[in-house]
Structures are given as C-alpha cells and as structure tokens.
C-alpha cells in the first residue's frame, strides 16, 4: 500500500525536516551535544567523509554520536551555515533531504587552544564545504534523523 502524501502534507513535512537540520547545526554551534543527539533515532547512523571520500567518522546511535562529537570537538568553536536544499517526502513518516553546508571549526574563544580530532586527522581549525544527506523518519509525531552523511568537497586545515 502506497502512503499518498498531499501537497499540504509535503510542504509541512519539508518545513519540519528543514527545522530539524537547523536545530542540528544550532546545537552543534552551541555545544549542546545532548540536544543534538536527541534529534537522532535510537539506531541512527552518522558518517563523515572528506573530499577524497575518506571516512572520518562512522557512528551508530545517539549516545555514540554525542560522545564522539563531544570528544572530537571539545571546547573548539563550531560555526555552521546551511544553504540551498532539496527534499523528498516518500510518505507521511519518511523523508530525505540534501543540504549544502559550510562549517568552520576554530580554537576556543577563550584562547585555551586545543586540537580537534576528526578520524585520524588532528587540526586546530578547519573550514569545510559540502553537503549533508539525511534520511528522516517520523516517530510519535516528531521527525528524527535516521541516517546522516556529511560529505565535504573541500577542507582547508590549519595544523
């Protein structure tokens, strides 16, 4: 049986999933790792790739996502920007979105320094450009991230 989505349901769903992605980057920028993890389903996957398709992170579940990002970013300053997007609503409970993104991760504002670890790469700052590809499901009336893949087309590192 096909779950037919009306134009109105599609527009409401697209707006809601765009808001999920907006909250994702807001929580990342404000180091609210628990709230960020709360955007994911219990079995969610999160993968991060570099410009040569090198896998930096391969995480499963909100706890691993929260702990790894908290440990990797530490007290560095993260700044994310989201740009244009394409969204597809497969049903009233399933959707996907691709969002153009740019991120900047720099040393903490307090001057305490510190390196960031992303997979096998250690750096003091990075300016990245790429995309988020996200599959979402609606759970008890709330859209949640079930699969998030971050691919960067370019990364400018400072060691």
Per domain, the residue ranges of the chain are 7-158
Confidence of residue 159 (pLDDT cuts 50, 70, 90): low
At residue 121, the pLDDT reads: 79
Beta strands in the chain (DSSP E): 40-49, 55-60, 77-91, 94-106, 116-118, 121-123, 125-139, 142-158
128-141: pLDDT as tens digits: 999 999 999 999 99
Q: 38, 73, 52, 51: which is closest to 145 by C-alpha?
A: 38
Confidence of residue 79 (pLDDT cuts 50, 70, 90): very high
At residue 98, the pLDDT reads: 98
Asked if pLDDT for residue 48 goes beyond 70, the answer is yes
At residue 133, the pLDDT reads: 98
Decide: helix, strand or coil at residue 4: coil
Q: Report the mean per-residue pLDDT for the chain.
A: 93
Confidence of residue 109 (pLDDT cuts 50, 70, 90): confident
Q: Are 152 and 130 contacting, i.e. CB atoms less than 8 angstroms apart?
A: yes
At residue 115, the pLDDT reads: 74
**Selected residue with higher pLDDT from 88 and 1:** 88
Calculate what percentage of the chain has a pLDDT beyond 70: 96
Asked if pLDDT for residue 2 goes beyond 70, the answer is no
CATH number for the domain whose boundaries are 7-158: 3.10.450.50
At residue 76, the pLDDT reads: 87
- Alpha carbons within 13 A on the beta-carbon side of 98: 6
Backbone φ, ψ for residue 8 (5° rounding): -65, -45
């Amino acid at each position: 049986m096909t779950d037919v989505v009306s134009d109105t349901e599609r527009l409401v769903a697209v707006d809601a999933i765009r808001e999920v992605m907006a909250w994702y980057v807001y929580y990342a920028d404000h180091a609210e790792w628990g709230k960020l993890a709360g955007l994911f389903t219990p079995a969610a996957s999160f993968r991060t790739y570099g410009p040569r398709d090198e896998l930096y992170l391969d995480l499963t579940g909100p706890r691993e996502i929260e702990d790894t990002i908290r440990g990797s970013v530490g007290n560095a300053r993260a700044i994310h920007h989201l740009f244009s997007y394409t969204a597809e609503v497969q049903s009233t409970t399933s959707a996907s979105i691709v969002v153009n993104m740019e991120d900047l991760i720099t040393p903490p504002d307090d001057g305490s320094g510190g390196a960031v670890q992303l997979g096998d790469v250690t750096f003091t700052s990075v300016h990245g450009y790429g995309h988020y590809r996200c599959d979402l499901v609606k759970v008890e009336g709330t859209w949640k991230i079930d699969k998030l893949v971050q691919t960067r087309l370019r990364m400018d590192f400072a060691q």
